[in-house]
Amino acid sequence: IESNYNLSVFSGYDITVDLTVKGQMSTINKYNIDDYNITADISHVTAGGRHTVKLSFDMPTGVTLSSASATTAELYIDERTTATIDVYPKLKSIAVPDNYELGELVSDTEIVVVSGPKILVEDVAHAAVYLDAGRLDSSISMVGKITLVNKAGEDITNPFLKLSKNEVKVSIPLYEYKELSVVVPTKHGYFNESNAKITINPPTIAVKADPVILEKITQISTTTIDETKLTGDSTIILGLIV
């Protein structure tokens, strides 16, 4: 019915039927619930709406059906449609040190396509990726499952809604602030304590970066001075090399 009439079932996945079966005890004991198949035949459906369909029962070898709590099921069938929705990564729990700053979460997928019954698709507001990051000491990437959220802000769990992608990778940047001493390199090495005094203003610069990067860094350099071009006291504005 999807390919012929652009229709989709949007109810019935939670229907249960109680069966009473008979057969030799040794035979029945060989099987579990997955060996009993019940099928709702919707091949005759050509239009959307509420439909009462017959159930067919497939019993395992050596077992016969004695009775069933239902022989029909009521299903809702609707036009099938698609929509493009935004993906928002969200942190469920995270802990970072006091002097650290959490950056903006970045997902490798910003939009996904959801398809299914029109009435259900139209109620989808966006997709969320819930992440439990725990305690962080550096930037990380995590893979999270996509969860659909309806217009009321509630998570949707409906197997009749299909996604073009079920998981996304999310980068969680973590920044540390640090004061670095500013150093000025010279091109030829002519300056020393006896012939020159270099005063830097400001003497330190506050930077932020991933803690792993900052761990081994204590200084930040300016661009290089060519001291052969200086003939006396000078004030020079230099760029920082990040």
Per-residue pLDDT reduced to its tens digit, 198-214? 899 999 999 989 888 88
pLDDT at 159: 84
Q: List Cα–Cα distances, 23 to 29, 33, 59, in angstroms.
A: 10, 15, 11
Is the pLDDT at 229 greater than 90? The verdict is no
pLDDT at 204: 95
Cα 33 from Cα 16, distance rounded (Å)? 12
116 CB neighbour count, 10 Å cutoff: 23
Task: Determine contact, residues 119/77, Cβ cutoff 8 Å.
Answer: no
Tens-place pLDDT, residues 127-161? 999 999 888 888 999 999 999 999 999 999 888 89
Rounded to two decimals, what is the model's pTM?
Answer: 0.63
Is the pLDDT at 191 greater than 80? The verdict is yes
Tens-place pLDDT, residues 71-89? 999 998 888 899 999 999 9
3-state secondary structure of 76: strand
pLDDT at 109: 94
The band of 190, judged by pLDDT with boundaries at 50, 70 and 90, is confident
